[in-house]
Amino acid sequence: MKPLKELCTPRASVFDPQKRDTVLDLTDLIDEKIDPAVFFSENYITEGMKSLLKNGFKRLEGKTEQGVYKLKQAMGG
């Protein structure tokens, strides 16, 4: 079995001090301040995020009455 260091290669932006501590505002996608292709290439959409997005859009489309969702962060800070 190969060691983790050989199996996983961090992307270059991980080591960029100007990007490393940046928190993006998703509304910047709408204002075209963030390139969507770059954003989604560097961010992993979890199953929980998929569920929230799917159910949130169902609510906006009037396909469900559920309007409250309890959010939790499973991986720390």
The phi and psi torsions of 5 (rounded to 5 degrees) equal -60, -30
14 belongs to a structural domain = yes
Structural domain includes residue 74:
no
pLDDT score, position 5: 81
Q: Which domain holds residue 54?
A: 10-58
pLDDT tens-digit series, residues 41-75: 877 788 888 888 899 899 999 999 988 888 777 65
Residue 66 lies in a domain: no
Residue 36 to residue 39: CA distance in whole angstroms: 5
pLDDT of residue 59: 92
Domain assignment present for residue 50? The answer is yes
Please report whether residue 77 resides in a domain.
no
> How many structural domains compose the chain?
1
Q: Flag whether 73 is in a domain.
A: no
pLDDT for position 20? 65
pTM of structure: 0.49
User: Does 26 map to a domain?
Assistant: yes
Residue 19 has pLDDT above 70, yes or no: yes
Collapsing DSSP states into helix, strand and coil, what is residue 28?
helix
Contacts for 45-54: CB closer than 8 Å, 24+ residues apart: 46/74, 48/74
